[in-house]
A = this chain, B = another copy of it.
Amino acid sequence: MLAAARTAFAERGFDGATIRAIASSAGVDPALVHHYFGSKDALFLAAVEAPADPAELVPEILAVPQDQLGAAVVRMALRVWDGPARPGGLALLRSAVNNEWTAKLLREFLVSRVLRKVVATLGFDPDVRAARASLVASQLIGMVMARYVLRLEPLASASPESIVAAIGPTVQRYLTGDVDLPHA
């Protein structure tokens, strides 16, 4: 069931994949998928072996004033990665770098399940939202790679709040600031 879910999410994205189609390709009844996982969200998180559930994290980020969103996003990312989710996060990152399908799943996870929900509150057009979300993702993924994978100093040993102070303004600019957006 999880293998079928991975295939469907990687091929069709979170929105395009349906529990009905996943159940059908796994040769089981959709009711069984619902019974085991409860929701498409939960099935997706299980399929990517997500180390954290964004449904618990996003509301906390969105509780801050809009001009502090950048800091809140960086602070949350560091709290997740400095906590017990780190091994799972590293495993997901490793797998995404080695495997195009997991890369698609991680992209769906980051964009559809986390960043899109944060950016959606800002009231831009969909194209602008996607562009801003991809810039935010570029800084966050790089922060994680530099701090936890390459262990670049002083980022690797720095206090979370000092990193929030350095990188938060970048994420804030990407989210709400005056930025020339990437386009074809």
* A residues apposed to B, CB below 8 Å: 93-94, 96-98, 103, 106-107, 110-111, 127, 130-131, 134-135, 137-143, 145-147, 149-155, 157-159, 162-163, 165-167, 169-170, 173-174, 179-184
Is there an interface contact between B150 and A96, defined as CB atoms closer than 8 Å? Answer: yes
Residues of B within 8 A of A149 (CB): 96-97, 103
Residues of B within 8 A of A110 (CB): 150, 152
Is there an interface contact between B142 and A159, defined as CB atoms closer than 8 Å? Answer: no
Give the complex CA separation of A169 and B155 in angstroms: 20
Between A96, A107, A111, the greatest number of chain B beta carbons within 10 A of the residue's beta carbon is seen for: A107
- Provide a sorted-by-A list of 14 A–B residue pairs whose CB atoms are within 8 angstroms: A97-B97, A131-B155, A135-B166, A137-B146, A138-B155, A139-B139, A154-B183, A158-B182, A158-B183, A159-B183, A162-B181, A162-B182, A162-B184, A169-B179
Q: How many copies does the complex hold?
A: 2
Is there an interface contact between A170 and B103, defined as CB atoms closer than 8 Å? Answer: no
Contact flag A153-B139 (CB < 8 Å), given A97-B97, A158-B182, A181-B166? no
Contact flag A141-B146 (CB < 8 Å), given A97-B93, A107-B152? yes
Contact flag A107-B167 (CB < 8 Å), given A143-B142, A158-B184? no
Residues of B within 8 A of A137 (CB): 142, 146, 150, 152, 155
Contact flag A134-B107 (CB < 8 Å), given A154-B184, A163-B182, A180-B165? no
Give the complex CA separation of A55 and B84 in angstroms: 41
Contact flag A98-B94 (CB < 8 Å), given A138-B145, A153-B130? yes
Residues of B within 8 A of A153 (CB): 130, 134
